[in-house]
Structure 1
Amino acid sequence: MRQNKLFAVGLTVCLFWVAIALIAPLIAPYEPLAQDMTARFAKPCREHLCGTDSLGRDVLSRVIWGSRISIEGGVLTIIFASLVGIVYGGAAGFAGGLVDEIMMRLCELVQSFPTIILAMVISTALGPSLFHTLLAMVIVWWPNYARVMRSMVIQVRSNEYVEASKSLGASSFRIFFKEILPNSIGAIIVLATVDFGNAILLFSGLSFLGLGSPPPTPEWGAMVSDGAAALTNWWIAVFPGLGILTMSMGANFIGDGMRDLLDPKLRKEI
């Protein structure tokens, strides 16, 4: 953190939003679903620091509560997509041959579709809900981790210490989990950290299109969509948009820092 200022900034921003999400019930000035039709489209003021929306709901409170859903969506997507990718890509790279070819063709089939378009199709087919949105994102996201994991496994399995384990009679299961996986996971960690910001952007994009959490659930992307319908009242979209922007940028800064930390060549230069 002393040597990489952007990493420190990104970590600070992400920890700030995580803390906000954890203590949302304690710091939100109003209930996120509470409506006050007498205060519709109120500009930012002392009573409502970030203004109100078309139903008189406090924007600051909804941004605070919305951080829970947006961050949770990004975290769950990365966790499940990376787990599927690690298992799938690790199996393909370790098996090799025809099995590897067949498994990688399936990855390429999924990746041949634009990510946002495929996620929209899956979410639309399943119906708008938080679970369906997360499922759609995992389906379109796991091939990235599978391909990275496969390439790392192929690279690591040719090292001398893997051959030594084979010569000592170690089982394939032990070789994979004791020798190959620990030396391949670094690239997955970096990819997951960088992808966290991208996952929040995609999750917010699907919510913006009405394919995420159903209303009136507070979620950053859905709030930006509400603000887009009332552009003259800029505060409705600006404040949740700032949440999306800062969280995604912070995650990318952390990803760059993790890459520098886990790459032996870059660490040596530092």
Structure 2
Amino acid sequence: MELRNRRGIITGAGQGIGREIALEFAAEGAHLLLVGRREQTLNETAQLVKAAGGSAEILAQDLSTADGVNAVAQAVDSWDAVNLLVNNAGNVRAGRLENSSENDVRAMLDLDLSAPILLTRALLPQLRASGAADGGVIVNVSSSIALVAMPFYAVYAAAKSGLAAFGESLRRELHGTGVHVATLYPGATDTAMMTTNNAGWETASVADVVGTLMAALAAGEHEINATPESARGMQQLNATDSLAVDAMIVPGLADMEAAVQDHRSI
């Protein structure tokens, strides 16, 4: 797949994986709309994009609202082409389901699942038009938790699994249109989102995760697993014998709950 000179939108672009994806596409000459909640971090990313060889506009919006999604669509309505959409923005709140507030539940579902679906729907006419000419690209950033749903992450797992299924369905729906739909499955990654997780999980660097993504896109892949190799065995076992994974996890439930109960990015 040709990745040069893309024109598109990256959500959650102010830091972490979103920022690194922006810089990788910038090095290929991209013009990007950087979307996130904080103008300061978006401006920082925009400067880095420029230094890397791309150009950028910024839009500070809360994508968990209808106004936020509409604002993104309006911002690129006059563009000649939109051939890239990276649905990366997300948040997490761990803990027992019965202790989760309704606000936290809705915040995860709204940003991690509803926003990517609604934003993709809004931009799909432009992506399809560009796909016919240059090949459009949609990247949905899911999570390894969609491959192994961990306890105390029930809502987050539901949202990220839903996003993965959305991508799979949309990929088949758009077959033959020139729009390539890919799903990225990062594991625990060394970003600000992980600073309140004390489970001691092996973390990958942002550069490694995004490097895996870019290489896989260039090769035309759709399902992109960027989790550390140490986690792949459990993923494979979960696909064939999920109760065996239960047996591995359940003895350590109390320790896991204590380690992740403060994991929060909302």
Smaller-chain TM-score bracket: under 0.3
Greater Rg over alpha carbons, structure? 1
**Structure with the higher helix share, 1 or 2:** 1
TM-score (norm 1): 0.25
Name the structure where strand makes up a greater proportion of residues: 2
Structure with more relative contact order (C-alpha pairs < 8 Å, separation 6 or more): 1
